[in-house]
Amino acid sequence: MSVTTPAAPTSAPVTALPQDFGALVRQDPEIADVLLGELYRQSSTLQLIAAENFTSPAVLAALGSPLANKYAEGYPGARHHGGCELADAAELIAVQRATALFGAEHANVQSHSGSSAVLAAYAALLRPGDTVLAMGLPYGGHLTHGSPANFSGRWFEFVGYGVDSDSGLIDYEQVRTLARAHRPKAIVSGSISYPRHPDYEAFREIADEVGAYLIADAAHPMGLIAGGAAPSPVPYADVVCATTHKVLRGPRGGMILCGAELAERIDRAVFPFTQGGAQMHTVAAKAVAFGEAATPAFASYAHRVVTHARVLAAGLEAEGFDVTTGGTDTHLIVADPAPLGVDGRTARERLAAAGVVLDTCALPYGDARGIRLGTAAVTTQGMDEADMARIAVLFGAAVREEGDVHTEVKELSGKYPPYPG
């Protein structure tokens, strides 16, 4: 059962629109209603999906710009199409901002998504049949880390490392033992649900010992890294893959960072090996996001995201949830609601009925699922530590089905419209 949010009528938007929807409303009221309904849904419920955020109106404006019309296969100065002067300018600005922001020698900003970035990294460094050591899927490995339903599991031999069943932390001695036994061609750090910082130095040392590449899949923490609120894999990894739409708060897309010696291989692996023409409106929007992420305001945001996650995690523990690893160093929290008498699926349903939107996820032990949530979006909205403490109490009430949580959630989200005006 999922919450059904009433679609807001086009005539009565609850929040100022980030862009001028006038032409769309007049031409196609059917789809305009869907988009306005989605704006209403995002404004009237609590967005705690760990991978989501609210982009700025400037990012949305770049996405809705005429660069969406432009074909630009290739790279700046070497395109397969004419008329690319301004597309080149957008991409050069995006690349220059990305390399400066992350202290990397090379950036490729064309990946359509985080998964496309990982696919290109594998294409650049591996051959089908090669062995790769990555976090096992039951512990938080991403689909691209060897799922049998994904190209990665079909084309490569994946070996999975786990976490210590008591602490929930990566056991680097296990990683080392598996690396020695399987001699992988690449080791992947990164996860969809690990709430602590990977030890990139330890991964590098193990990779060097067995002669493996180190690929850091920093899809989740890239925005924290940009803001100085999480350690950077750039000095340690051969290739860093990331998304631009999670904590980084840019458009939906991916990016890859690497040293100068791998630059050409990475670029060719993105285009023409795994992708066609770049989405230049998205590239421009990535440039806008990198510009925003280089500001002191964003650094302050990134640190607040982590503080908020810590406050929320402590509040959830006080409500009886079992928080994996005992807390978080990032924006991300994984909690087991079993002490409240339900599993993650039931908890998510009850929270959804109260207007709280989040995911379930695998727990590092047993078969039951937990819940996964993050503080990137609510922090962008301007919520504070007291709000996080309040949200934790609302979680307890919603999962125990006590009181009218939905009304309180509406009040809270109504105080912080994501696109005020």
Interface ranges with ligand PLP (CB under 6 A): 51, 113-115, 118, 142, 144, 190-192, 217, 219-220, 243, 254
Angle, CA of 102, 146 and 107, to the nearest 5° = 20
Q: How far apart are CA 207 and CA 76, in angstroms?
A: 34
- Give catalytic status of residue 246 as yes or no: yes
Of these residues, 5, 10, 33, 71, which one is catalytic?
A: 71
**Beta carbon nearer to ligand PLP, 247 or 311:** 247
Q: How far apart are CA 57 and CA 62, in angstroms?
A: 9
- Give catalytic status of residue 387 as yes or no: no
Of these residues, 97, 196, 246, 350, which one is catalytic?
A: 246
- Give catalytic status of residue 173 as yes or no: no
Provide the 3-class DSSP secondary structure of residue 102: helix
Match 């404004």 to its residue by tokens: 43
Does the CA dihedral 339-344-345-348 come out positive or negative? positive
Q: How far apart are CA 225 and CA 293, in angstroms?
A: 10
Of these residues, 172, 199, 252, 317, which one is catalytic?
A: 252
Q: How far apart are CA 41 and CA 244, in angstroms?
A: 23
Of these residues, 73, 157, 205, 385, which one is catalytic?
A: 73
- Give catalytic status of residue 243 as yes or no: yes
**Beta carbon nearer to ligand PLP, 251 or 344:** 251
- Give catalytic status of residue 264 as yes or no: no
Cβ neighbours of 411 (radius 10 Å): 9
Chain residue at closest Cβ approach to ligand PLP: 114
**Beta carbon nearer to ligand PLP, 192 or 358:** 192
**Beta carbon nearer to ligand PLP, 142 or 196:** 142
Count the helix, strand and coil residues of the chain and give each as a percent rounded to the nearest 5: 50, 15, 40
DSSP assignment letter at 170 = B
State the nearest-atom distance from the C-beta of 197 to ligand PLP, in Å: 14
State the nearest-atom distance from the C-beta of 192 to ligand PLP, in Å: 4
Could you give phi then psi for residue 78, rounded to 5 degrees? Answer: -145, 65
State the nearest-atom distance from the C-beta of 50 to ligand PLP, in Å: 8
State the nearest-atom distance from the C-beta of 306 to ligand PLP, in Å: 17
- Give catalytic status of residue 252 as yes or no: yes
**Beta carbon nearer to ligand PLP, 185 or 220:** 220
State the nearest-atom distance from the C-beta of 241 to ligand PLP, in Å: 7
Match 């899927």 to its residue by tokens: 137
Cβ neighbours of 74 (radius 10 Å): 18
Q: How far apart are the first and last CA of the chain?
A: 33
Of these residues, 55, 161, 196, 217, which one is catalytic?
A: 217
**Beta carbon nearer to ligand PLP, 97 or 245:** 245
Number of helical H runs and strand E runs in the chain: 16, 15
State the nearest-atom distance from the C-beta of 412 to ligand PLP, in Å: 27
Q: At what angle do helices 280-293 and 85-102 cross, to 10 degrees?
A: 30
Q: How far apart are CA 337 and CA 397, in angstroms?
A: 12
**Beta carbon nearer to ligand PLP, 118 or 214:** 118
**Encoding tokens for residue 245?**
């739409």
State the nearest-atom distance from the C-beta of 114 to ligand PLP, in Å: 2
Does the CA dihedral 311-317-323-326 come out positive or negative? positive
Q: Say if residues 250 and 242 touch (Cβ distance below 8 Å).
A: no
State the nearest-atom distance from the C-beta of 228 to ligand PLP, in Å: 21
Q: Is 3 exposed, middle or buried (0-12, 13-18, 19+ CB in 10 A)?
A: middle
**Beta carbon nearer to ligand PLP, 15 or 325:** 325
Active-site residue set: 71, 73, 217, 243, 246, 252
